[in-house]
């Protein structure tokens, strides 16, 4: 028996398209600003943010891959490029011969510390200055709910 497709209502379609347009345009603009002003790509910045948020600036490849929701090959290639630029290093895991860590370097810390103030200002100028505190709380609640559902589906 064929399932009935639950087509989007005009209101749902408008909201979905508005959201995807916001995500694409805001992400693109922030990435271009990062690249132009700090020589970091959006993915570089995402990796460095995750590494600065964990103890000792080190995280297992698998955990970082899951946190960023990337494919293993993408993570491997990207980390190799970042290591080539001295932003991170790869360290073998002594407890697990197959596992490895991604570790932020002093150069990686310096790069994100230099990029972060302008990035935060751009987030404010392009996004936060255009929403109210109550809209921001609703956005956070919606985002957390959807992300939690996505995380539950992967378990």
Res 99: pLDDT: 82
**Residue 3 confidence (pLDDT):** 83
Query: Computed over its alpha carbons, how large is the radius of gyration of the chain?
Result: 19
Give me the pLDDT at residue 98, please.
Answer: 73
Residue 70 backbone dihedrals phi, psi, to 5 degrees: -105, 160
The torsion angle over the Cα atoms of residues 85, 83, 59 and 127, rounded to 10 degrees, is 30
Given this model, what pLDDT does residue 55 score? 86
pLDDT of res. 26: 97
Q: Are 78 and 85 in contact (CB under 8 A)?
A: no
Over the chain (155 residues), what is each successive 10-residue block's mean pLDDT? 87 97 96 96 96 94 92 95 97 80 97 97 97 97 94 78
CATH architecture of 26-154: Orthogonal Bundle (1.10)
Residue 64: what pLDDT? 95
Domains in the chain: boundaries: 26-154
């Amino acid at each position: 028996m064929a399932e009935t497709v639950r087509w989007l209502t005009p209101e749902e379609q408008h909201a979905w398209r508005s959201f995807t347009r916001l995500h694409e345009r805001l992400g693109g603009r922030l990435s271009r600003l990062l690249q132009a002003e700090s020589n970091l790509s959006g993915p570089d910045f995402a990796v460095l943010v995750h590494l600065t948020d964990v103890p000792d600036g080190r995280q297992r490849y698998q955990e970082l891959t899951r946190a960023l929701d990337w494919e293993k090959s993408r993570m491997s290639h990207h980390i190799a490029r970042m290591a080539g630029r001295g932003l991170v290093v790869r360290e073998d895991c002594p407890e697990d011969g197959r596992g490895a860590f991604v570790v932020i370097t002093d150069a990686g810390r310096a790069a994100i510390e230099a990029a972060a103030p302008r990035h935060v200002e751009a987030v404010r100028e392009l996004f936060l200055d255009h929403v109210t505190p109550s809209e921001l709380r609703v956005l956070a609640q919606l985002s957390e709910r959807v992300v939690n559902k996505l995380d539950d589906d992967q378990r």
